[in-house]
Amino acid sequence: MAARAARAGQSVRRAGRVAKAAPAARTARIERRTRETDIALALGLDGTGQSRILTGIGFLDHMLTSLATHSRFDLDVRCKGDLHIDAHHSVEDVGIVLGQALREALGDKKGIVRFGHAYCPLDEALTRAVVDLSGRPWLHFGVEFRARAVGDMPTELFEDFFWALADHGRLNLHLDLLRGRNSHHIAETLFKATARALGAAVARDPRASGVPSTKGTLVR
Ligand SMILES: [Mn+2]
């Protein structure tokens, strides 16, 4: 009974005292298989930034590890994709499944902050990320790379990844590179700034109880 109430985030009466139970951890686990990719992903929004990432694309692993670290999300990703063709299906599909998991873990979005933004530098590179967990997918990608690829990742696929994330996570994401030269640095600031902005947006607002929207819903 108490366990059920605790899971539901309700007050639990113990020894005559009313204690506020910790709200249920927000998690999602998704498996998605197509003829192009086979993906298993687990996401915990109330985590510590632990991750285990194996996408078959080393540079994407590096970026998703960074995303988990700086959002404090726990993230497990395993992707077996058709890399003999190229990296496109794997990158886009990992973005799709991460977005789906984010949407599922957020549920009805009651009591969250909803908005988040962050600036992240790495040496000469500086990126700004602005997030609204609005339920309305949008990506602004004000980023250009000088190099065609970083490691085993073509740089044009970063925009595809973030579009997939925004589309399936139903979030509004504005990414702007304010300055930068080195493509590895630029990519890393994109993921770190997005991580910090997302971490801020999914945070629970102790003053808010309902859905942070005058419309009354952020789910569609
Ligand atoms: Mn790096």
Q: Quick check: helix, strand or coil at residue 126?
A: strand
Identify the pLDDT of residue 174.
98
Retrieve residue 217's tokens. Answer: 């819903």
In DSSP notation, 49-111 reads S-EEEE-S-HHHHHHHHHHHHHHT-EEEEEEEE-TTT-SHHHHHHHHHHHHHHHHHHHTT-TT
Residue 46: partners with Cβ closer than 8 Å, 6 or more residues away? 25, 26, 27
**Which residues place a Cβ less than 5 A from the ion ligand 1?**
188
Report the separation in Å between the CA atom of 184 and the middle of ligand 1, taken as the mean of its atom positions: 6
Is a pLDDT exceeding 50 seen at residue 63? yes
Report the separation in Å between the CA atom of 194 and the middle of ligand 1, taken as the mean of its atom positions: 15
Nearest partner of 31 among 91, 78, 89, judged by Cα: 78
Report the separation in Å between the CA atom of 188 and the middle of ligand 1, taken as the mean of its atom positions: 6
Report the separation in Å between the CA atom of 62 and the middle of ligand 1, taken as the mean of its atom positions: 7
Spell out a b/e string for 17-55, using b for 16 or more CB atoms within 10 Å of the CB, else e.
eeeebeeeebbbebebeeeebbbbbbbbbbbebebebeb
Report the separation in Å between the CA atom of 189 and the middle of ligand 1, taken as the mean of its atom positions: 9
Q: How confident is the model at residue 2 (pLDDT cuts 50, 70, 90)?
A: very low
Report the separation in Å between the CA atom of 66 and the middle of ligand 1, taken as the mean of its atom positions: 9
pTM of the model: 0.90
Q: How confident is the model at residue 214 (pLDDT cuts 50, 70, 90)?
A: confident
Q: What is the pLDDT of residues 80-139, one digit of tens each?
A: 999 999 999 999 999 999 999 999 999 999 999 999 999 999 999 999 999 999 999 999
Walk me through the domains of the chain, giving residue ranges and CATH numbers.
Answer: 27-202 (3.30.230.40)
Report the separation in Å between the CA atom of 53 and the middle of ligand 1, taken as the mean of its atom positions: 15
Q: What is the pLDDT of residues 143-169, one digit of tens each?
A: 999 999 999 999 999 999 999 999 999
Count of alpha carbons within 13 Å of 115, Cβ hemisphere only? 4
Identify the pLDDT of residue 13.
52
Residue 73 near residue 165, CB atoms below 8 Å: no
